């Protein structure tokens, strides 16, 4: 018996020093050998409810990943709550996800005001606020907010693209602007005015609130300003209203529409294709309405996903493309984490992405981050709406080369 005990002790001691034993698993909150718990906040109700499709797409995408075996054998438990695009409700839902649901992170929560309301809290708690669904410039601030990262192109950089194009093609333009009176609208406005660099000054600038029933009054005033160029800085519901109202008024300015409302299904179709002809925006995602992508491998994978996991969904809604593509980015990060699924390693891997190609990004546009660059996508192309789809034109703009 004594000899047996010595042999067992020796065997156990030897096992403790094997390489596999030294490779310890590191788990943050919400992670087990079988599960990764991820939180999300979306406006399934309220003035920005058109964006709720993004959350539904992500839910379906993670179901597909789970059906394929999950992330390194772990299924994703995706918990998505509604905040109605109301910052106080966002705070409530964020606390619930972090303190009650014990999620590893909050992923792709939507909106500039909602995310602004929880940014300090998330960083104090050292919980990843990862790939937020807003292009405000404040998300690219790893020094002061190392736990917050954006995903889509910067609003300010996008607005500078429009300004650069206007200065080149309409140097005497009379510009009218409608913008949402919050951090989101003001971020776009700042980028646009910075891009004009004092060479042109808008003849009219008006705001609206998300609680407004209509924007008819603002559109009538903007038309009366004599403007021949219109920058439409609005979320989907109001973007459709503005495009339609301009058409009803017989006002035919050159229209620029911020990318966050460039969805054919949720904006241009409701506005009326007749009213939307010639509208200019920017793109970094493939337009599912464009038949030129029908033989593209990435498009085929996206279309097959929608057909199987979101049957009946409107493929013309850009939110389906957005939700799919940002979810692909997160899956890449989680896979590179391996068995170190700590919150710190999630941010480390998210800030070390190199030339990542994704199914529905436009050719040549890739995801890149670094510890000093928390702006994953920085390239966009101009596009004009013709017929029933977007048509790309001109050069590819890179935020890094645009004058700040």
Assess whether pLDDT exceeds 50 at residue 22.
Answer: no
Assess whether pLDDT exceeds 90 at residue 28.
Answer: yes
Q: For residue range 141-186, list pLDDT tens digits in order.
A: 999 999 999 999 999 999 999 999 999 999 999 999 999 999 999 9
Per-residue CA distances from 318 to 260, 265, 285, 314, 325 (Å)? 9, 7, 8, 9, 11
pLDDT at 77: 98
Q: For residue range 293-324, list pLDDT tens digits in order.
A: 999 999 999 999 999 999 999 999 999 999 99
Q: Is 172 helix (H, G, I), strand (E, B) or coil?
A: coil
Q: In the predicted model, what is the mean pLDDT of the chain? A: 93
Average confidence (pLDDT) over 347-370: 97
Please check whether the two domains, 26-153+295-373 and 155-283+382-401, share a CATH topology: yes
CATH entry 3.40.50.300 includes domain 155-283+382-401: no
Assess whether pLDDT exceeds 80 at residue 12.
Answer: no
CATH architecture of 26-153+295-373: 3-Layer(aba) Sandwich (3.40)
Lowest mean pLDDT among 187-191, 260-264, 274-278, 400-404: 400-404
- What tokens appear for 52 in the block? 């709720």
- What tokens appear for 307 in the block? 């057909």
Q: For residue range 56-105, list pLDDT tens digits in order.
A: 999 999 999 999 999 999 999 999 999 999 999 999 999 999 999 999 99
pLDDT at 83: 98
Lowest mean pLDDT among 15-24, 27-36, 252-261: 15-24
Average confidence (pLDDT) over 264-271: 96
Assess whether pLDDT exceeds 90 at residue 4.
Answer: no
Burial call 43-64: b when 16+ CB within 10 Å, e when fewer: bbebbbbbbbbbbbbbbbbbbb
Average confidence (pLDDT) over 223-229: 98
pLDDT at 394: 85
pLDDT at 403: 56
Assess whether pLDDT exceeds 80 at residue 17.
Answer: no
| Element spanning 328, H or E | helix 318-337
Question: Rounded to whole angstroms, how far apart are CA atoms 360 and 287?
Answer: 9
* Helix 318-337 / helix 52-67 crossing angle, nearest 10 deg: 40
Taking the domains of the chain in order of start, what are their residue ranges?
26-153+295-373, 155-283+382-401
The confidence band for 23, taking pLDDT boundaries of 50, 70 and 90, is low
% of the chain with per-residue pLDDT over 90: 91
Assess whether pLDDT exceeds 60 at residue 279.
Answer: yes
Using alpha carbons, select from 248, 193, 203 the residue that is nearest to residue 226.
203
């Amino acid at each position: 018996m004594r000899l047996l005990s010595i042999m067992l002790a020796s065997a156990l001691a030897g096992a403790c020093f094997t390489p596999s034993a030294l490779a310890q698993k590191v788990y943050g909150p919400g992670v087990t050998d079988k599960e990764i718990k991820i939180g999300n906040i979306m406006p399934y109700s309220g003035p920005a409810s058109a964006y709720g499709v993004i959350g539904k797409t992500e839910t379906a995408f993670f179901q597909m990943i789970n059906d394929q075996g999950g992330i390194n054998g772990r299924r994703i438990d995706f918990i998505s709550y509604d905040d109605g695009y109301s910052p106080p409700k966002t705070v409530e839902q964020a606390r619930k996800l972090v303190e009650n649901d014990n999620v590893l992170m909050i992923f792709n929560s939507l909106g500039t005001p909602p995310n602004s309301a929880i940014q300090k809290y998330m960083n104090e708690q050292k919980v990843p606020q990862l790939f937020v669904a807003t292009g405000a410039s404040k998300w690219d601030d790893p020094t002061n907010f190392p736990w917050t990262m954006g995903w889509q192109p910067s609003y300010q950089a996008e607005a500078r693209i429009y300004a650069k194009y206007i200065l080149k093609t309409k140097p005497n333009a009379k510009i009218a602007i409608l913008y949402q009176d919050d951090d989101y609208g003001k971020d776009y406005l700042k980028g646009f005015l910075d891009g004009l660099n004092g060479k042109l000054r808008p003849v009219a600038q008006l705001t609206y609130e998300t609680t407004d029933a209509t924007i008819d009054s603002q559109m009538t005033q903007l038309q009366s300003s004599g403007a021949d160029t219109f920058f439409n800085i609005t979320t989907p519901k109001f973007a459709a209203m503005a495009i339609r109202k301009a058409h009803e008024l017989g006002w035919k300015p050159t229209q620029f529409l911020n990318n966050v409302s460039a969805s054919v299904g949720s904006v241009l179709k409701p506005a009326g294709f007749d009213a939307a002809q010639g509208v200019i925006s920017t793109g970094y995602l493939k337009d599912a309405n464009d038949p030129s992508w029908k033989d593209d491998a990435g498009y085929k994978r996206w279309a097959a996903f929608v057909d199987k996991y979101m049957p009946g969904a409107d493929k013309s809604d850009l939110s389906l493309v957005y939700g799919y593509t940002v979810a692909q980015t997160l899956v890449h990060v989680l896979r590179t984490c391996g068995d170190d699924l700590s919150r710190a390693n999630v941010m480390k891997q998210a800030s070390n992405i190199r030339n990542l190609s994704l199914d529905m990004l436009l050719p040549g546009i890739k995801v890149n981050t670094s510890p000093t660059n928390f702006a994953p996508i920085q390239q966009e192309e101009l596009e004009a709406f013709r017929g029933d789809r977007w048509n790309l034109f001109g050069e590819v703009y890179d935020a890094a080369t645009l004058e700040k």
